[in-house]
Amino acid sequence: MERIPILKMGEYLLVSIQVDMHDRLAMTLQADLTDRIVSVHAKGVLIDISALEMVDSFIGRMLGDLAAMSRVLDAETVVVGMRPAVAITLVELGLALKGVRTALNVERGMDLLRNRIDARGREDAGRE
């Protein structure tokens, strides 16, 4: 069965969606990603959707859900590389993905993740 690869890089997980998403694929990705976050104790997840050309309300919600699930599992999530057309579509659908962090490209996304995790580390240290 077709699957979207989840790459581990240090304490981060990288998901690059290079094919057009269909519903089944999206559900598999949710299951795989949550499994991987738990098994490798990932601190951050970066989802690259620069190749995604078409979104519908389901895929839009799926992106939001993915971020929410990662957050529950204590991993910061950044969605990067959204195309202008996709952004406009999501907004028109009323899915502004509140609570999802976004960045222009993978590089910026990694910076953002690193900053967030550093900041969280400092907060935790301060609390102890």
Which residues contact other proteins by CB under 8 A?
79-80, 82-84, 86-88, 90-92, 96-97, 102-105, 108-109
In this complex, which beta carbon is closest to other proteins, that of residue 29 or of residue 82?
Answer: 82
For the CB of residue 8, give the shortest distance to other proteins in the complex, in Å.
23
Report the residue number, 13 or 63, with the smaller CB distance to other proteins: 63
Distance in Å, CB of 81 to other proteins, minimum: 8
**Dihedral of alpha carbons 101, 48, 45, 71, sign:** positive
Nearer to other proteins (CB atom), residue 18 or residue 105: 105
76 closest CA partner among 48, 50, 110, 106: 110
Q: How far is the CB of 16 from other proteins (least distance, A)?
A: 16
The residue with tokens 């996709």 is: 86
Please give the DSSP secondary-structure letter assigned to residue 93. Answer: T
Residue 38 or 57: the one with the smaller Cβ distance to other proteins is: 57
What does the alpha-carbon distance between residue 8 and residue 109 come to, in Å, rounded to a whole number? 15
DSSP category for residue 102 = E
